[in-house]
Structure formats: structure tokens, C-alpha cells
Amino acid sequence: MNETNKKGLTYADAGVDINAGTEAVELMKEHVKKTFRPEVLADLGGFGGLFALNTSKYKEPVLVSGTDGVGTKLMIAFMMDKHDTVGIDAVAMCANDILVQGAEPLFFLDYLAVGKLFPQRVADIVKGIAEGCRQAGCALIGGETAEMPGFYSENEYDIAGFVVGVADRQRIIDGSKIVPGDIVIGLPSSGLHSNGYSLARKALLEIGRLKIGDYSDELGRTIGEEMLEPTRIYSRQILPLLGKYDICGMAHITGGGLTENIPRILPEGTKVVLNAKAWPEKPVFNLIQRIGGVATGEMYRTFNMGIGMVIIVPFAQADAVMADLKAAGEAACLIGKVAEGDREVEYRPEEV
């Protein structure tokens, strides 16, 4: 009889360390508590997160929810052994999605599945999630960390996020008010954000045979640093505009790029005409296209190409919206207009 059978089989023998999980919770608590809003009613560790909706702020409150993950960008974190920023991406992908409907992000929950629970690594991941919540203005009120030996390798994990926000029913933004003549404003991305990484890795790391530690003069940093740059969160820019301007529609530019995401909010009989030279080019996209030999059309339907969020406003309000964004330190660009058409994006190399 072996030693394990003498003392009795334990969960730890099967690869799940309950003590490590307890340690991880203690390490993450300080980061989580920094995200709490006054509406949070329960401390970390309960079976459910409690959040008291302040209905006095809204005439007819509607809850808006979203969920997303980080995708294969996590592979770059594994390669670099850097885990304190991917949590920002998890929050960004969720919070930006509900922002486009005019919703204020209220609270966030995360799901983290790991092959082996290393407490400090989990704390680093949650530190990033908390930072993303801070940027979005929402509270991190709960989550789940699941140790899954045999399903993930020891150094692998996956993250999913869930956000709940609120909007007044009369102020929900769904694109239905978009008409020809409206102006399209673009807010810059920080780079790749969290989409297109399978193509980016194929081009840069496989075809180009670049290493994540290789320094690129074109990028001004290493390949890994560029690819791990966190997704921008647009709460600070968007929320002050709500109610002040007649925002007709917004689009979060994620998988599918400008080409696929903008039509999701267009009503029948309209299209968007973009001037692709109206915003500064991001070197990382040029690098991917050149090394990978990727067609321009494929680039625009895979990556954000430097624009992470699109706002569509009436022509008469465009200058005022731009002035507010610039006063807030945002490098917004007038990138196009709405025209008559069949729910598509058309690119023209001319001033709009």
C-alpha cells in the first residue's frame, strides 16, 4: 500500500489545492475592495454579490448585461509570464459592449479557470480585473476561480467576464435614429485590443519568425509588449456625453473590425462612408499586413485598425461633441459620414 492510500486520498492528491485557493482570495482582496461603489452591500467571499440599484437616478431603469473573454491574447501572457494586464482586457470587452447602448457599467463578475492555482499569479490576474473595473467605473463584486487539473496545463488559464449596467429606457441607444448626413467620430484604440490574435500570431510569430522578446524599431518596444497592450475602456469618454447630446449610435470595434461591427447598428437604407486616412495609422497593423501578406480588406474585417470605438452623431452636434472629447484629453477624429445605402461600410480615400 502506498503512502497516499495509507493516509487517504485527498483533493490535493488529485491536483486541487484548497489552501492555495484560500491564499489567492486573501491576496486579491485589497485589489477588489478598491473597486467597490456605495451600492455594494456585501464583502468578498459570500455566495452572491449584492448591489443596491439606485433607482432615483433613472426614470425607467433598464439593466443591460454583457459577457466576453480575452481569447488567444492569453497565449501572449503565457509566453511572457506576465499576468497583471489581461484582466483589463476582460473588463474592457464587456464594459465597452454595454456602453454602446448608453449603459453605465455597475458591477462585474469574473470566471477564472486554471490548470494549477498559483496564488500570486491569480492575484496578479485579479489585480488587472480590478484595474479594468476602476477604469470602467464598475464594482468587482464576485467571481469564481476553478482549479481544473488535467483540463488545462499547469501554466494555462482562461478568463471570462460578465458585466451589468443600467440605462434609462428612453435613452437606450440602438442605432434606430441614424440618418444620412450624420457624422461618424472615431476614438483611437491602443493597438490590437483583444481581437485578431490568431491572425496576428500567425503573421508575426510563425511567418515572420519573430520572438516576443524581439525589439522592434517600428513599434518602439518588443513584440510581446505591443501584443499585450491592454484594451482601452471608454467609460470616461462616453458617459459624460450621454444625455448631453443626441447620440444616434455607437459601435465597439472588436472581432470583425470596422467592416463588420458598424453595420450592426445601422438601420435599413443607410451605410457608412469612412475615410481611412482620417486617423493616424498604428504601426502594429502595418507590420502584420506586411509580414503576413494580408489583404487590406481582410485587415479591416479582422482588426480595429486604430479605431476602438465609433460614435455617430447629428451633423449639427459633431463639432461640440469633438470639442468635449478633446477637452477631456481624447484624440478623437472625424472619420466619416452616414449616407444612403444597404447597411455596409464603404472606404473612400477622401475627406468626408
Element (H or E) spanning 25, and its range? helix 18-33
Q: What pLDDT is stored for residue 122 in this prediction? A: 93
Q: Where are the beta strands (DSSP E) in 259-342?
A: 270-274, 307-313, 333-340
Integer Cα distance of 314 and 154 in angstroms: 52
Q: What pLDDT is stored for residue 174 in this prediction? A: 95
Element (H or E) spanning 229, and its range? none
Query: Buried b / exposed e across 202-216, counting CB within 10 Å, b at 16+?
Result: ebbbeebebebeeeb
Q: Which of 232, 230, 335, 344 is nearest to 280 (CA)?
A: 335
Integer Cα distance of 312 and 328 in angstroms: 18
Q: In a 3-state reduction of DSSP, which class is residue 341?
A: coil
Helix axis angle, 119-136 to 86-99, nearest 10°: 30
Q: What pLDDT is stored for residue 24 in this prediction? A: 65
Low-confidence ranges of the chain (pLDDT < 70): 1-6, 11, 17, 21, 24-25, 27-29, 44-46, 350-352
| DSSP sequence for 63-122 | EEEEEEE-GGGHHHHHHHT--SSHHHHHHHHHHHHHHTTTPEEEEEEEEEEESS--HHHH
| DSSP sequence for 109-177 | EEEEEESS--HHHHHHHHHHHHHHHHHHT-EEEEEEEEE-BTTB-TT-EEEEEEEEEEEEGGG---STT
Integer Cα distance of 125 and 146 in angstroms: 14
Quote the percentage of the chain above a pLDDT of 90.
80
Q: What pLDDT is stored for residue 3 in this prediction? A: 53
C-alpha triplet 49, 139, 307: angle, nearest 5°? 135
Cβ atoms of 227 and 77 within 8 Å: the answer is no
Q: What pLDDT is stored for residue 351 in this prediction? A: 43
Give this prediction's pTM: 0.90
Integer Cα distance of 12 and 105 in angstroms: 38
Q: What pLDDT is stored for residue 352 in this prediction? A: 38
Q: Which domains are delineated in the chain? A: 3-171 (3.30.1330.10), 183-347 (3.90.650.10)
- The owner of cell 452616414 is 338
Q: Which of 87, 68, 67, 86 is nearest to 76 (CA)?
A: 86
Side chain identity at residue 334, one-letter code? L
